[in-house]
Structure 1
């Protein structure tokens, strides 16, 4: 059978200081989605330093295979490379040196953990080959964009020959050493929504001679989410939240254009698939009394991440093998483009605890996010362990005449 979990953990421990330094380097030099040029290069260099050849994707990101070239089972492990357009406010010694950009979602931790998993799997590669086991490391660009980089990976044959796929995501609400698992949906569907209003502007003393666009935009911001709550099944848990609203630039001028941007999230995939027409209808109904023109653009983002039960079994074994603690975790309204991989192959995503025990609870997508770097080794051992656990199950002895299925 494949190597034991403790051998994987031993190799990760040997490299832990190196992985922490690597993560800090990435943290100091964050790069936005589809611009992760330096990050891609650094990952490639570190992989090549231990004999792992990487294939670069068009633009940014890379893929590397370890183990049997034509495996009986191939398990993919994914990390995301990109940062967010958020100014860091941590005052860490290794804080971001790029103004207005930071790793406020923990992707630097994901990347370092996957690199560590790669080191560990490379150390036992001969035995993986002997048992027909392959591992694919996917360092994906642009998870924070819509549409995200997962579809870039799929379009460049990143899942060809893959039987299942795993990932971890930082969770600052869980203590380090804990990994949150859930069978079924663990994230929500998410789209990007942009509403642009245009109309006849003018002087604020004569609103009756204009089309009061700012007032109409305010109604969009407040009334559209309310109307959707009465038009959609409440079990879908739809939430339209605005993150950007712009209209005008002077106190006494009614502008001729205004914009609102936000995200529409929901727990139910079926409702998500048919929401575009309804949203457009509601926006136009809300602004109709003010005689302004409305343009509604929905950029389809991601379906929910739905964790496969057998893959959660493998993750459970991997977490225990890493010496960590399995924790239950609820479905959230957060969106994750890892979901697109799961429309092609079964897989699962785990929540990786990053909170220092007894320390502060931070949140993702905030400039003050601080993680306990002990999570890197836990993530690395867990990801590598998913390969071992998946292989062990797949390669169990079968009744006479039955063969393990070949990878697609």
Structure 2
């Protein structure tokens, strides 16, 4: 424990935590850069998990491994009156880095294009800072559970592994931050209610006899039918679901054929189905497959539909948002809290909020006056000042329970 943190422990745990975070900040930035240089995709976050386990264990924090990758870190009261969970996601994306940063990805075709390296560093920083005031947490009956979750970027995601491990049992509130390159560093985007959308993955595979492009009437024009799936299925869904739900089926992968004069025997499209409304999301199960079959029926091809249920919307609890807003105002200034709108992005933190109230905050990462980057792109650059902001806000919000 630093002398500065020790001097605050008995009177002001929030001030002590913030002082410790300031002391740790150069190390946190260095750790984030190391994580950024060594990204790992979903379910393969072995190096990241080892780093977290060794760092937390060295600080005296109790850790429990999740199956495969990821871990849980617990500190504070063993039999608490309140337990707060803080979630970080570990995985990177299969996207080549184009940022030009000196600590850019050393792994071909993989990079932290969504800021999960920042999320991991922030929650690690909170755990280390709060460990220095653990006696105060114990005295006041507060437990902090830091969840380092694997596989947020795939469906189904690692949140299910967290739930299956019982990590959300007896948790009273769950908090998380997510990088937002559309708002300036030093600001935190907050809203009560839905902040993300429901998101599923849809894969359609068509098969037919194949043939010569001069004789489509003697085979089945699979490529034409695939084009109908691409255009007609999103259109039909927009008429079969409540338009207020903001339904959007957008294709990301298309594959069919390898010769200009050959009708292929198979074709495939893969995309995501997103919507703003949780109730409509529950009703859509089965509808996608039905619509695909109706669309391709005239073309004498067979359709196989895989509709992988992904995540419901993240719905922010009002009390959790109040705690985050108070923490941001106290540590970053009253103008740091900015409104944010619901997006069509999916986030499997939503599964952790199905039985536990909590909130997701958007962490501003844009350098003031700098360019606005897009998430999931290899050129993403994050202003590292955001690491201190996120760590302070999460730590103080968690301590609002004491």
- TM-score, normalising length from structure 2? 0.95
SS where residue 368 of structure 1 aligns? Answer: coil
Moved over 4 A (4+): none
For 2:330, the equivalent position in structure 1 comes to: 321
Question: Does residue 1:235 correspond to 2:234, yes or no?
Answer: no
Shift of 1:116: 0.7
Tell me the distance in 1 between the aligned counterparts of 2:345 and 2:265. 34
Tell me the distance in 2 between the aligned counterparts of 1:92 and 1:186. 31
SS where residue 222 of structure 1 aligns? Answer: helix
For 1:61, the equivalent position in structure 2 comes to: 70
Question: Does residue 1:120 correspond to 2:139, yes or no?
Answer: no
- Cα RMSD for the two superposed structures: 1.1
Deviations 1:109-137 (A, max 9, x none): 00000011111111111111111111001
Deviations 1:57-111 (A, max 9, x none): 1100000111111111010101000001111111111111111111000000000
Q: 2:111 aligns with which of 102, 119, 126?
A: 102
Question: Does residue 1:356 correspond to 2:367, yes or no?
Answer: yes
For 1:82, the equivalent position in structure 2 comes to: 91
Question: Does residue 1:338 correspond to 2:349, yes or no?
Answer: yes
Tell me the distance in 1 between the aligned counterparts of 2:269 and 2:383. 36
Tell me the distance in 2 between the aligned counterparts of 1:3 and 1:117. 16
Shift of 1:159: 1.1
Q: 1:306 aligns with which of 301, 315, 318?
A: 315
Shift of 1:6: 2.7
Shift of 1:2: 7.6
SS where residue 145 of structure 1 aligns? Answer: coil
Q: 1:191 aligns with which of 194, 197, 200?
A: 200
For 1:70, the equivalent position in structure 2 comes to: 79
User: Within 5 A, what are the aligned runs for 1:199-278?
Assistant: 199-278=208-287
Question: Does residue 1:39 correspond to 2:61, yes or no?
Answer: no
Asked if the contact 1:3–1:388 (Cα under 8 Å) also holds between the matched residues in 2, the reply is no
Question: Does residue 1:5 correspond to 2:7, yes or no?
Answer: no
Question: Does residue 1:146 correspond to 2:155, yes or no?
Answer: yes
Tell me the distance in 1 between the aligned counterparts of 2:34 and 2:272. 31
SS where residue 309 of structure 2 aligns? Answer: strand
For 1:182, the equivalent position in structure 2 comes to: 191
Asked if the contact 1:173–1:355 (Cα under 8 Å) also holds between the matched residues in 2, the reply is yes
Show structure 2 runs of 5+ residues with no match. 1-9
Shift of 1:322: 2.2
For 2:376, the equivalent position in structure 1 comes to: 365
Asked if the contact 2:197–2:275 (Cα under 8 Å) also holds between the matched residues in 1, the reply is yes
Tell me the distance in 2 between the aligned counterparts of 1:5 and 1:193. 45
Asked if the contact 2:13–2:133 (Cα under 8 Å) also holds between the matched residues in 1, the reply is no
Show structure 1 runs of 5+ residues with no match. 393-408
Shift of 1:200: 1.3
Tell me the distance in 2 between the aligned counterparts of 1:140 and 1:218. 38
- TM-score, normalising length from structure 1? 0.94
For 2:6, the equivalent position in structure 1 comes to: none
